[in-house]
Amino acid sequence: MARITPEALRSQRWFGRESMRTFNHRSRMAQLGYAQEDYRDKPVIAILNTWSEINPCHSHFKARAEEVKRGVWQAGGFPLEMPAMSIAEPFQKPSPLLYRNLLAMEVEELLRSHPVDGAVLMGGCDKTTPGLVMGATSMGLPFLYMPAGPMLRGNFNGQTLGSGSDMFKHWAEVRAGTLPLEQWEGVLSGIARSPGHCMTMGTASTMTSAAEALGLTLPGAASIPAPDSRHALMAAASGRRIVEMVWEDLRPAAVLTADAFDNAVTAVLALGGSTNALVHLIAMARRAGVPLDLERFDAIARATPLIANVRPAGRYLMEDFYYAGGLPAMLNRLRDRLALDAPTVNGKTLGENIADARVFDDDVILPLERALVPEGSLAVLRGNLAPDGAVIKPAAAEPQLRRHTGRAVVFENYAELQARIDDPDLEVDATSVLVLKNAGPLGGPGMPEWGQLPIPKKLLQQGVRDMVRISDCRMSGTSFGACVLHVAPEAYVGGPLALVASGDVIELDVPARRLHLHVDDAELARRRAAWRAPPPRYERGFGALYAQHVLQADAGCDFDILVRPGATAEPEIY
Rounded Cα distance, 133 and 184, in Å = 37
Residue with smaller CB distance to ligand FES, 163 or 479: 163
Specify the stretch interacting with ligand FES by CB under 6 A; choose among 197-205, 246-254, 508-516, 558-566. Answer: 197-205
Residue 375 to residues 380, 402, 466, 512, Cα–Cα distance (Å): 13, 15, 22, 15
Residue with smaller CB distance to ligand FES, 22 or 160: 160
**Nearest distance in Å: CB 56, ligand FES:** 7
What are residue 306's DSSP bridge partners?
A: 373
Asked if 140 interacts with ligand FES (CB under 6 A), we say no
Specify the stretch interacting with ligand FES by CB under 6 A; choose among 196-204, 325-333, 400-408, 413-421. Answer: 196-204
Tell me which of 10, 60, 197, 280 binds ligand FES, using CB under 6 A. Answer: 197
CB 74 within 8 A of CB 240: yes
Which residue, among 153, 19, 126, has the nearest Cα to 449 in the 3D structure?
126
**Nearest distance in Å: CB 126, ligand FES:** 5
Q: Which of residues 244-303 bind ligand FES (CB under 6 A)?
A: none
Length of the chain as a residue count: 574
**Nearest distance in Å: CB 192, ligand FES:** 8
Asked if 198 interacts with ligand FES (CB under 6 A), we say yes
Asked if 474 interacts with ligand FES (CB under 6 A), we say no
Asked if 449 interacts with ligand FES (CB under 6 A), we say no
Rounded Cα distance, 228 and 358, in Å = 20
Asked if 212 interacts with ligand FES (CB under 6 A), we say no
Number of residues this chain uses to bind ligand FES (CB under 6 A)? 10
Asked if 126 interacts with ligand FES (CB under 6 A), we say yes
Asked if 225 interacts with ligand FES (CB under 6 A), we say no
Q: Angle at the Cα of 14 (from 10 to 16), degrees rounded to 5?
A: 85
**Nearest distance in Å: CB 485, ligand FES:** 18
**Nearest distance in Å: CB 57, ligand FES:** 3
Binding mask 37-66 for ligand FES (x = CB under 6 A): --------------------x---------
Residue with smaller CB distance to ligand FES, 192 or 381: 192
Specify the stretch interacting with ligand FES by CB under 6 A; choose among 198-206, 335-343, 369-377, 536-544. Answer: 198-206
Residue with smaller CB distance to ligand FES, 126 or 166: 126
Tell me which of 77, 195, 202, 225 binds ligand FES, using CB under 6 A. Answer: 202
The DSSP annotation for 225-260 comes to: -TTSHHHHHHHHHHHHHHHHHHHHT--HHHH--HHH
Asked if 146 interacts with ligand FES (CB under 6 A), we say no
Tell me which of 45, 72, 204, 300 binds ligand FES, using CB under 6 A. Answer: 204
Q: Which of residues 168-187 bind ligand FES (CB under 6 A)?
A: none
Residue partners of 319: CB distance under 8 A and separation at least 6: 150, 152, 153, 199, 225
Asked if 89 interacts with ligand FES (CB under 6 A), we say yes
- Taking the alpha carbons of 193, 196, 200, 202 in that order, is the dihedral positive or negative? positive
Type of residue at 255: V
Cβ-count burial of 392 within 10 angstroms (0-12 exposed, 13-18 middle, 19+ buried)?
buried
Residue with smaller CB distance to ligand FES, 126 or 298: 126
Given 3-state DSSP classes, what are the helix, strand and coil percentages for the chain, each rounded to the nearest 5? 40, 15, 45
Rounded Cα distance, 155 and 168, in Å = 16
Residue with smaller CB distance to ligand FES, 17 or 93: 93
**Nearest distance in Å: CB 321, ligand FES:** 15
Which residue, among 339, 142, 133, has the nearest Cα to 252 in the 3D structure?
142
**Nearest distance in Å: CB 164, ligand FES:** 7
Which residue, among 246, 376, 397, has the nearest Cα to 304 in the 3D structure?
376
Q: Give the three-state DSSP class for 208.
A: helix
CB 489 within 8 A of CB 387: yes
Tell me which of 45, 47, 125, 250 binds ligand FES, using CB under 6 A. Answer: 125
Helices 276-287, 294-301: axis angle to 10 degrees equals 120
Residue with smaller CB distance to ligand FES, 57 or 243: 57
Asked if 310 interacts with ligand FES (CB under 6 A), we say no
Rounded Cα distance, 211 and 317, in Å = 19
Residue with smaller CB distance to ligand FES, 52 or 263: 52
- Contact positions vs ligand FES (CB under 6 A): 57, 89-90, 125-126, 163, 197-198, 202, 204
